[in-house]
Structure 1
Amino acid sequence: MPIRYLFKQLLLPPGVLLLVLLVAWWLRKRFPRVAAACFGLAIGGLWLMSLPVVVEWSARLLEREPALVEARWADLAQQVDVIVVLGGGREQGDPAWGDDQPSSMALERLRYAARLAKASGLPLAISGGLHYGQPPSEAALMAQVLLRDYGMPVQWQEEASRTTWENATRSAELLHKDGIKRVVLVTQAWHMPRARWCFEQAGFQVLSAPVGFLGVANGRPAGGWLPESKALWQSSLLLNEALGLLIYPVVYGRP
């Protein structure tokens, strides 16, 4: 198991909040007030993260790039040279398909990219490496889906990246050799600001094509103020993204 993954799971919610609960239990007799504060912090954090309305509000802070207007899809070839789709994880050994499959987020990106490609005639490039170090790569799985389900061949596959920064830098190594520096980038709306920044740092001119907006009306009963397990997962994604936006310029920013 990669150390980076282990630290990420322990130091970000909900993992860190569960650790705080353990601390509260451990301190309950010797330091009851501190234990009570830890307990309140952990339960309060888990409750807030499980609310769809919090997901909606949080996503609006991250989703800065507008959706592409469908009427402009046919003109994309005049502005860019290729559609780049970022990997979004994979599901292992799905019995229904008899093999690994792209995650639901990755499939959402693929569907959108396929429509853009059909409307514009632009070629496709996929970026996504090994999931937890085991083949096949995310790029290979996504390319299979595009070809089998949408009849869309992939011209470039970048299969070594593990992070958004590597998505950009390794795609640059692949595409710049063919003189390609103008791309339309497909990823989740909340991920787009960081992804765009990475690709621009790697020397690309980027046209954003975000999908999967979370900062829209949640449509849940009681306005989204009732806890929901899906919201907890979405909140974790958004928090991870917010931290990434803060950390990436410090780690990868050019002097």
Structure 2
Amino acid sequence: MFLRYFLKQLFYPPCLLIILLLLGWLLRRRAPRLATGCFAAGLLGLIAMSLPVVTQTAAGVLETEPVLPIAAWANLAQQGEVIVVLGAGRERGDPAWDGEDQPTGIALERMRYAATLARASGLPLMTSGGLHYGEPPSEAEIMARSLKRDFGMSTRWLEPQSRTTWENATFSAALLKAQGISKVVVVTQAWHMARARWSFERAGLQVVSAPVGFLSRSTGRPFGGWVPDAKAFWQNSQLLNEAIGQLGYRLFY
């Protein structure tokens, strides 16, 4: 698991782009053309990854699942039997919470939406997410605690083993099918929804998509989003990871 994390960090921005810039510097005398290419690729990559307009454009390609209309929330029980919230990592040992691990901002966004859908529809909740590098508690447990404490919603089922979207779907399906459940409402980020839906359908479940956190909408930033922005770099990293994930799932699953 640690090797996988290390390799991922090494070959993803910003580490990959920094390596290209360093190669451009180190090869400037021995191989000037190659050095120029490495430096240009690294610099242009850093600029592109920092642009909000790239975020909006890339998200527009990935966010293929439609919005779940507010008017449809109350009738969700006619289409699904449980709302499944997918994990999105955790914040480690926050002193503000007496050192207790907390859900990330993205996870909270998903939980808030799931809790709202549950109130409107009366459907039960399920959280899905495993251990962070083998250390308890699981993401499913952290989300369940937060749903109860912060949103006043109980979680009926926890799936605490998964580490990937594929495992979210596979392990959740096994648990739910044992309860006679085959129709799920899946809550995750809009740019992640297509892969999540594909995975849950491959696991043999009928899926109602409930995407949240759309990034393809206009940001309202000045100069049309052509000014580099630190938040855009992080968002573009998420989108790049998702694009590679979608390709990998089609090839290997």
Q: Shared fold (TM-score greater than 0.5)?
A: yes
The letter for the 1-side match of 2:52 is P
Aligned to 2:82: 82
Q: Name the CA distance, whole Å, in 1 between partners of 2:119 and 2:158.
A: 19
Q: Name the CA distance, whole Å, in 1 between partners of 2:250 and 2:212.
A: 24
Q: Higher mean Cα deviation, 14-23 or 225-234?
A: 14-23
Normalized against structure 1, the TM-score is what?
A: 0.97
Aligned to 2:127: 126
Aligned to 1:177: 178
Deviations 1:102-145 (A, max 9, x none): 00000000000000000000000000001122111111000001
Aligned to 2:200: 199
Q: Name the CA distance, whole Å, in 2 between partners of 1:43 and 1:177.
A: 52
The letter for the 2-side match of 1:212 is G
Aligned to 1:43: 43
Q: Name the CA distance, whole Å, in 1 between partners of 2:41 and 2:246.
A: 24
The letter for the 1-side match of 2:222 is P
Q: Name the CA distance, whole Å, in 2 between partners of 1:13 and 1:111.
A: 30
Deviations 1:167-212 (A, max 9, x none): 0001011111001110000000000000100000000100000000
Secondary structure at the counterpart of residue 219 of structure 1: coil
The letter for the 1-side match of 2:200 is F
Q: Higher mean Cα deviation, 90-99 or 176-185?
A: 90-99
Secondary structure at the counterpart of residue 131 of structure 1: coil
Aligned residue runs from structure 1 range 132-147, under 5 A: 132-147=133-148
Aligned residue runs from structure 1 range 16-95, under 5 A: 16-95=16-95
Q: Name the CA distance, whole Å, in 2 between partners of 1:29 and 1:91.
A: 45
Q: Name the CA distance, whole Å, in 2 between partners of 1:23 and 1:246.
A: 28
RMSD: 0.9
Matched positions, count: 252
Question: Which structure 2 residue ranges, 5 or more long, are not aligned?
Answer: none
Aligned to 2:216: 215
Question: Which structure 1 residue ranges, 5 or more long, are not aligned?
Answer: none
Aligned to 2:159: 158
Q: Name the CA distance, whole Å, in 1 between partners of 2:240 and 2:141.
A: 29
Secondary structure at the counterpart of residue 178 of structure 1: coil
The letter for the 1-side match of 2:73 is W
Aligned to 2:234: 233
CA drift of 1:78 comes to 0.9
Deviations 1:211-242 (A, max 9, x none): 00000001111111100011111111101101
Secondary structure at the counterpart of residue 190 of structure 1: coil
The letter for the 1-side match of 2:237 is S
Aligned to 2:9: 9
Q: Name the CA distance, whole Å, in 1 between partners of 2:188 and 2:172.
A: 15
Normalized against structure 2, the TM-score is what?
A: 0.98
**Percentage identity across paired residues of the two chains:** 62
